[in-house]
A and B are shown apart, each in its own frame.
Chain A
Amino acid sequence: MAEVAVQQEKEALFSKKRVKLLTDPLNDNNPVTVQVLGICSALAITVQVKPALFMFAGVFFVVVMGNIVVSLLRNVIPNRVRIIAQLVIVAGLVSIVDMVLKAYAYDVSKQLSVFVGLIITNCIVMGRLEAFAMANKPWPSALDGIGNAFGYGILLVLVAVVRELFGAGKLMGYKIIPDSFYEFGYVNNGMMMMPPMALILVGIIIWVQRSRNTKLVEAED
């Protein structure tokens, strides 16, 4: 059996080990900066902060729910078709998100447009299902999902803030950089609008993170 269930029958709901599931992805094991997953969407929807937040909400729902569902099914999913089974579950969840947004948050869904569907292709989702939910119980899986969604969301918003502020002089659509700056010759950086700039920003964030977090630095030999 491909089951490596962690023995934690009587473990507290928020034991140290479980809190670590939540906090680890925020820094030490961030899905974007350390595992370098989900880069594609980090490039695509970080031009403005607002869509980035909605994307985070969508990914949050899909990762957490997907983790729980897959974790519940982990003992009945045949090993040979596990990836395609995970994909069906993720695609189903994403379609539900899409439909619910269209019905009850029509403007949000318009703003996100194609990117809702693109959650399916987010490597973090499949990555967590395959690496964690397939081998763990629902509750730890849910915590793991929450942690990773936040790890992803933090980075997304960080990149989006920089791109929107310097690319358009706005945040959340509101003007931040005053007109007087422009009169003195300040110009919005058009490069920030381009996807490659997101990659460069992610690179800079990884650099800063590694120089501050010694755990991430590979031992010199």
Chain B
Amino acid sequence: MDTTWYLVLSALLFAVGAGGVLVRRSPLVILLCLELMLNAGNLALVAFSRSTGTEDGQVFALVVMVVAACEVVVGLGLIVAMFRRRVPLDVDQIRGLRG
């Protein structure tokens, strides 16, 4: 099968993830969408690896998975902490960075 289809699927998944990050307000869902974007990237990497016949892309995909796992741990931890301290679970209300 042509690599193009994989890339199209990857781009679609990425767009869905990015759209989700931009429109949703719940930190949990934003985290899920971020995962979606990362895995869209993974898909593209694996597809390229397959088309060029080398393993580099697959190794990168493994590294990205590790990073994603770390990020989820931190992100979920933050969300749990926010929940415990009764911080509203709405990214629009967390505006401490406003200048």
Answer whether A and B are interacting partners.
no
